[in-house]
Amino acid sequence: MTVAITRTDLDATDLRVAAARCKDAAASRRMLALALVLEGRTRTEAARAAGMDRQTLRDWVHRYNELGLAGLANLPNPGAPPRKLTAEQERRWLCGFGRAPTLEQHKVVRWRLVDLRDEVAQRFGVRLHERTMGKLMARLNFSRVSVRPRHPEQDAAAQEAHKKEFAELVAAAIPEHARGKPIELWWQDEARVGQQGSLTYIWADRGSRPRAPRDQRYDWAYIFGAVCPARGVGAAPRACARGFSLVVADSCQAVARDGSRGTVPCRVGT
């Protein structure tokens, strides 16, 4: 049903003058559309000229009839609803979140959004939606990342000691017949083919990748290999029960004739 423009205080010319003086481009466009209607153009033509459809023009005619030119401006945006957690509560949550859950206390082994939502409700008495909890974690620079595997028996102190004493360890491992000769360092690693343990996802600072124990209970077949980066040579990988011995023998054939060989094994996960 067509809605007529019932206000008579402004004609088409007055609406065009008001549109020229208006600093609101959207309101000015609506004034020009009404001016076209008053000049006898069809609603479809007026709406198309103003970049809107007929239904939208009809709605603006209702607003104009009720409020005049003031009704053609956009209503003020009240903005997003206030956050349920205050800035102080978010700061306290951020400071206290750096710990993993315990099965005895939290009844979970890793944090999910529903678990974090329940934790916020318990600490601050504020009930959040699961999606809101995800937005809060993103705003605090947390993301759900895959952890780096760590062997359950990893010893960080032993690793640092090994790095500091590596030169002494190599010198002590050189046999008497090889002293005074060039020493090549060969780096040995292995790949395990089979069913591997899975890694979990946790909430952590964006860009970080914390370590977590990895389940080592699975069956595999070893594929061994060794390489000397300094000369760009290596031993062909083999995969069988006698594989490691064959790799050692193969890599010994690639050592320079006037040198001796030292192998640095890789302990997976350490």
pLDDT band for position 270 (50/70/90)?
A: very low
Residue 203 domain-assigned (yes or no): no
260 in a domain, yes or no? yes
Answer whether residue 6 is part of any domain. Answer: no
- Specify whether 21 is located in the same domain as 60: yes
Domain of residue 26: give its range.
12-72
Give the highest mean pLDDT range of 5-14, 105-114, 186-195: 5-14
- pLDDT value of position 129: 92
What confidence score (pLDDT) does residue 21 get?
Answer: 92
pTM of the prediction? 0.41
**Are both 134 and 157 inside the same structural domain?**
no
Q: Does some domain include residue 78?
A: no
Higher pLDDT, 195 or 73: 73
pLDDT, residue 143, reads 86
Please count the structural domains in the chain: 3
Which H or E run includes 227? strand 220-228
In this predicted structure, the answer to whether residue 1 has a pLDDT above a threshold of 50 is no
- Per-residue pLDDT of 202-248, as tens digits, reads 888 888 888 877 766 666 666 777 788 888 887 765 555 565 666 66
Phi/psi at 146 (5° precision):
-85, 135
pLDDT of 110 > 50? The answer is yes
Note whether 131 and 175 are same-domain residues.
no
Q: Is 69 in contact with 31 (CB distance < 8 Å)?
A: yes
Q: How far apart are CA 39 and CA 48, in angstroms?
A: 15
Q: Are 156 and 260 within one domain?
A: yes
Residue where a domain stops, chosen among 110, 140, 170 = 140
Residues 166 and 109 in one domain: no
Q: Read off the pLDDT of residues 119-170 as tens digits, 9 standing for 90 and up.
A: 999 989 999 999 999 999 998 888 888 888 888 888 889 889 888 888 888 8
Residue 202 in domain: no
pLDDT at 268: 43
68, two tokens: 């005049």
Residue 161 CB-half CA count within 13 A: 4
